[in-house]
Amino acid sequence: MLYSGVWRYNMPNNKHLDLSGRTTVETELDKGSNFKRIALALNKDPSTISKEVRSHLTIENVGAFRMKYNACVHRFKCQKSKICYPCKSPRNYKLCKRCGLCNAFCEDFIPYECPRLKKPPYVCNGCRSRPECTLKKQFYRADIAHEAYLSLRSDSRSGISFSEDELRHIDEIVSPLIQQGQSPHHICVTNRDRLMVSERTIYRLVDAGLISAKNIDLPRKVRFRVRKKKKELKVDKRCRTGRTFDLFQKYMTEHPDIPVTQMDTVEGKKGEKVLLTIHFVKAEFMLAFLRDYNDSKSVTDIFNDIDRLIGRDHFCEIFQVIVTDNGSEFSNPAAIEYDSEKNLRTRIFYCDPHASWQKGSVERNHEFIRCFIPKGKSFKKYSQDDINLMMNHINSYSRESLNNKSPYEMFRFFYGSEILDLLGCRLIPPQDVTLNRSIFKKEGDSK
């Protein structure tokens, strides 16, 4: 309503937009409507619409009709040709600015961003210049925005928001007392000044395997049947903030020469030992580490051990960017990105939910591990030495994609032999490479 020249909004109690409301926002933006008009249509405040749009921007690096993506300030007057030799484009363009790869290879590339994206409505939905624009574009998509909202709402209502230091403090107090036979209720009552968590939280920490005490140490716990589906608990519920796959793509556009490392978990039997796999995409070289529990602390400990083993300079050289999935074991990225003195040593980004193909290189390489240890088989009887032996054979196997070189040789070419020696990796002679579990058979061994 309009009173004395001032707009008044009858705000409803439910402040959150639903899918229908977000669809209205997208439709109005496509028409070129401003935030005030959209707010009137939804009976919301314009600032609410502005926050909604800015929080759910979808970035697309796409070109225009018959024009490739080009975000260089020189894109109109540039007459360069044959910037990269041999040409990496499937077509032979006379001018490199017509190729979608010139921004990545041109030394004179200066990024340029449309100034309209810094002003309301911050999106290209209703822009009339879009058919001729080759710059980065921002869109508001109702379905993507609603899915992101539901995911954030779910994460905010689940998980455990404790840092590694806080978990360690709780573990030092709770676990010894539980192993003495004390109940979580008794522990909470008698340690109120030291333990600022509830009884229910202790049960959740024990059930998630985040502290030393186990369910078997709780006399009453073992009497109840465990639910079929175990809910994963994240150390940091907002770990994806600032580390999404869209931001990873943007970061790689700005730093195209940075090598990418992918990280994943390989499970045997549920609740038993697991493998942490670290895959260097450019060399197709993979490391694997055996862990007793699939928790975030074991992942952090492995990276700290690698840092100490090979040195900070080598660590920062090979772990510049890490891409992983949304597993709870990777939900404390700050502990990996920063050392104990808060020095940045790497960057972590997450794949989109249910999009394992975004780290397809490590997923494909897991097929070699399954040649030795089939899916569903336990890792319990294997040692780290066995895993190292397995990875040596896998990394010594020649790949057609590497011009018939082995991942070991490619990693040595990129980073030298010193890191491989420090990690205990060795090259298996080609005629001795074996891709089955017979390598584990030793005298008196029944593996």
The model's pLDDT over 210-222, given as tens digits with 9 standing for 90+, comes to 888 888 888 666 5
The three-state secondary structure class of 360 is helix
pLDDT of residue 213: 87
pLDDT of residue 444: 40
The model's pLDDT over 84-126, given as tens digits with 9 standing for 90+, comes to 777 766 677 788 888 877 887 888 889 899 999 999 999 999 9
The closest alpha carbon to 319, from 242, 263, 238, 241, belongs to 263
The pairs formed by 141-150 with CB atoms below 8 angstroms and a separation of 24 or more are 141/26, 141/56, 141/58, 142/19, 142/22, 142/23, 142/25, 142/26, 143/19, 144/56, 144/58, 145/22, 145/52, 145/55, 145/56, 146/18, 146/19, 146/22, 148/56, 149/16, 149/17, 149/56
pLDDT of residue 5: 47
Alpha helices in 121-191 (DSSP H): 142-156, 164-179, 184-190
Residue with tokens 């403090």: 169
pLDDT surpasses 80 at 206: yes
The mean of the pLDDT values for the chain is: 85
pLDDT surpasses 50 at 156: yes
Give 42-83 as a DSSP string: HT--HHHHHHHHHHTEEEE---BTTB----BTTTTT------
The model's pLDDT over 295-331, given as tens digits with 9 standing for 90+, comes to 888 999 999 999 999 999 999 999 999 999 988 889 8
Would you state the structure tokens that stand for residue 172, as one six-digit string?
């030092």
pLDDT surpasses 90 at 168: no
pLDDT surpasses 50 at 445: no
pLDDT of residue 446: 45
pLDDT surpasses 90 at 287: yes
**E strands, 198-273, in order:** 260-267
pLDDT level of residue 436 (50, 70, 90 thresholds): confident
pLDDT surpasses 50 at 261: yes
Sign of dihedral through CA atoms 139, 140, 143, 146?
Answer: positive
pLDDT surpasses 80 at 343: yes
- Mean pLDDT to the nearest integer, 375-394: 92
